[in-house]
Amino acid sequence: MALYDLILGPFLEFGFMRRALMGCIALSISGAPIGVFLVLRRMSLMGDVMAHAILPGAAIGFLLSGFSLFAMTVGGVAAGLLVALGAGAIARTTPLREDASFAAFYLVSLGLGVMIVSIKGSNIDLLHVLFGNVLALDDPSIYLIGGIATVTLLSLALIYRLLVAECFDPGFLKSVGGAGGLAHFLFLALVVLNLVGGFNALGTLMVVGLIVLPAASARFWSESVPGQIVASAVIGIGSSLVGLLVSYHGELPTSPAIILAAGAVHALSILAGRHGSFASQALRARHLRG
């Protein structure tokens, strides 16, 4: 009975908990390969930049239509793609490096998005945009997240080899010309799509955590790219489950609870993961001394 009340009861008794879990599972499965490639390509911080880049577009959608899923999604996708293209173009045509260009867009986008939401909405609306409300996911939001997950997995299946090649041999992707550039742009578009899908659940400040934290943790549990993708998805789903339960029983904010659960797994991975953790390095050193 205690196990039912602690773990199963909330999901069996309340539809909003089931929808929240379904949305987080879809986000974890879709965000796992995105996060792994962001980490492998040393673009983890770019995920945070892009998460804030979608804010002005989503805010304009909110300004025009309120909390309209369609308007905020279209606005977020448009703003994210515009920032990705703009930052890349500036980096290619000026001495400014790509990371500095993205940082500039990040700061402007965050300030502009907060300003736009504040014009029409209240502090509660601003908190909803920044931190999301995963417990309020409705059926259209679930369909959107599921659709984005499907598109992401199918698209990554097409460009998987090119992305892996770029991670371990960047010169190769440059040598294949147009195919490499197309793969890079498609990957950035998938990053934007996943951030927009997650934005509806976790908000712009939290969504990147469910993409990057599990992927960073997965590096301590597997050395292969497929293994890291699977481990990242499992960690994301587990963190979502734990975060939802902690939020439900402790009456705590849901999005931060999910991200903190993922952070706890990351700390555990650093300490005791199979590859490169403190524990594995200590065991290896002891073995070499023996």
Q: How far is CA 284 from CA 266, 276, 278, 287, 289, in A?
A: 21, 10, 10, 5, 9
Q: How far is CA 281 from CA 106, 232, 263, 270, 286, in A?
A: 37, 22, 21, 11, 9
**Confidence tier at 170 by pLDDT (50, 70, 90):** low
- Taking only the tens place, the pLDDT of each residue in 172-200 is 666 655 566 677 788 888 998 898 888 87
Does residue 106 or residue 25 have the better pLDDT?
Answer: 25
Q: Tally the domains of the chain.
A: 1
Cβ-count burial of 167 within 10 angstroms (0-12 exposed, 13-18 middle, 19+ buried)? middle
**Residue 122 pLDDT:** 67
**Residue 54 pLDDT:** 84
The DSSP code for 121 is S
Q: Among 105, 84, 113, 70, which Cα is nearest to 200's? A: 70
CATH number at residue 110: 1.10.3470.10
% of the chain beyond a pLDDT of 90: 33
- Taking only the tens place, the pLDDT of each residue in 230-255 is 999 999 999 999 999 999 999 888 98
Q: Give the distance from CA 237 to its chain's centroid.
A: 13
Mean pLDDT (whole number) for 50-57 = 82
**Residue 31 pLDDT:** 92
- Taking only the tens place, the pLDDT of each residue in 70-128 is 888 888 888 888 887 777 677 667 776 766 777 777 778 878 887 887 777 666 666 77
Mean pLDDT (whole number) for 274-283 = 88
Reduce the DSSP state of residue 38 to 3 states and report it. helix
**Residue 19 pLDDT:** 93
Domain coverage including residue 53? 2-289
The DSSP code for 108 is H
**Residue 175 pLDDT:** 64
